[in-house]
């Protein structure tokens, strides 16, 4: 059987890093990475491009757009795509690509490593092998492959800062496993017949994590400077009212100014439910805010950037926000 053609897109990250004067810096190109894993040529035919060489801390929404455009321009030429990426913001990029490239009929796989590929003890080589195996398979959509796990792009989060078990699937099962040269697929997400590419994002989406006693002026400042504000609240969700300031009134003014506000939880698992307590239900009943439910913050950020790049009309924003895309939200209403 003819081997499938896969495009490797290099962006930098730990996987491509070498030690410099001030610590690890991404230096290796995508083609240089492949020299460390020559056996991958037995899985598929590979071409390489290098879009940029950045520590993923420096990757922004404009870079998501560049990756998506590179894939769109070459989409008909390849059977799958692998994006090598730094781990620190890989989950955000995976979410961003999930909205910029919707209903992909081909696998778009992000991977990286906790240790550079030149190290004796590294996870780079196996992660690359697994990523190419998935990219050359019959799977589809935007996926993150790391330490054997195959995770939906809208559900991935970096949950360990150093160990090889770096990523978890939040509020959704893993799609499958790459193990011993085989793919074990547990879930086959719904497949659409047409792939849609998008080219516009509104990056003015801010995130505020509440802490006890936080000044509501922080929310006011962020609302003034951004199109949308996501608030990570406590527990199942709610906004505090202090003698020194009223979050309810601050958010109300922001909404009246045409801003979008999403309330979610800083608790990693099980999502929000504003209807449980008065501090959440009073907001839900009286203000046109959006609730994230089981959608993870990385996906909320990327989804809002995609939505606000298309429309700012409140009803349409809400409709798009609550429309499931790439397994991003299940528990609505």
Q: How far apart are CA 48 and CA 269, in angstroms?
A: 37
Cβ neighbour number for residue 206 with a 10 Å cutoff:
20
Structure tokens at 326: 């790439």
291, β-bridge pairs: 263
Q: How far apart are CA 186 and CA 189, in angstroms?
A: 10
Active site residue 159: no
Cβ neighbour number for residue 277 with a 10 Å cutoff:
14
Q: How far apart are CA 79 and CA 5, in angstroms?
A: 5
Structure tokens at 201: 């994002």
Rounded to the nearest 5°, which phi and psi values hold at 299? -70, -40
Structure tokens at 309: 């790049």
Long-range pairs for 67-76 at CB < 8 Å and ≥24 separation?
A: 67/9, 67/11, 67/93, 67/97, 68/96, 68/97, 68/100, 68/101, 68/197, 68/198, 68/199, 69/199, 70/9, 71/7, 71/9, 71/97, 71/101, 71/108, 72/101, 72/197, 74/7, 75/106, 75/195, 75/197
Residue from 11, 14, 89, 93 carrying the catalytic annotation:
14
Q: How many angstroms from the chain centroid is the CA of residue 89? A: 8
Residue 271 backbone zone (phi > 0: left; psi -120 to 50: alpha; other: beta): left
CA distances 325 to 25, 273, 329, Å, are: 35, 20, 7
Catalytic residues: 14
């Amino acid at each position: 059987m003819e081997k499938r053609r896969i495009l490797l897109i290099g962006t930098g990250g730990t996987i491509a890093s070498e030690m410099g004067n001030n610590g690890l810096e991404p230096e290796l190109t995508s083609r240089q990475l492949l020299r460390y894993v020559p056996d991958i040529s037995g899985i598929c035919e590979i071409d390489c491009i290098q879009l940029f060489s950045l520590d993923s801390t420096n990757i922004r929404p404009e870079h998501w757009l560049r990756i998506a455009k590179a894939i769109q321009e070459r989409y008909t030429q390849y059977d799958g795509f692998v994006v090598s990426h730094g781990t620190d913001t890989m989950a955000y990029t995976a979410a961003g690509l999930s909205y910029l490239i919707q209903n992909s009929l081909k696998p778009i796989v992000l991977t990286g490593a906790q240790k550079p590929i030149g190290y004796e003890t590294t996870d780079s080589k196996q992660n690359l092998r697994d990523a190419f195996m998935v990219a050359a398979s019959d799977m589809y959509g935007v996926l993150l492959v790391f330490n054997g796990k195959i995770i939906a792009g809208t559900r991935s989060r970096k949950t360990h800062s150093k160990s090889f078990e770096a990523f978890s699937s939040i509020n959704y099962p893993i799609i499958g496993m790459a193990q011993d040269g085989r793919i074990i697929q547990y879930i086959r997400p719904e497949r659409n017949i047409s792939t849609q590419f998008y080219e516009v994002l509104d990056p003015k989406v801010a995130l505020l994590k509440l802490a006890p006693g936080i000044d509501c002026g922080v929310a006011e400042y962020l609302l003034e400077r951004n199109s949308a504000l996501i608030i990570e609240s406590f527990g199942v969700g709610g906004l505090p009212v202090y003698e020194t300031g009223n979050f309810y009134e601050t958010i109300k003014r922001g909404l009246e100014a045409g801003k979008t506000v999403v309330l979610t939880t800083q608790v990693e698992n099980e999502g929000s439910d504003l209807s449980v307590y008065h501090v959440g239900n009073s907001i839900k009943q009286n203000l046109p805010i959006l609730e994230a439910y089981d959608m993870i913050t990385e996906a909320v950020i990327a989804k809002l950037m995609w939505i606000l790049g298309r429309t700012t009309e409140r009803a349409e924003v809400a409709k798009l926000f609550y429309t499931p895309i790439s397994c991003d939200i299940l528990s609505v209403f």
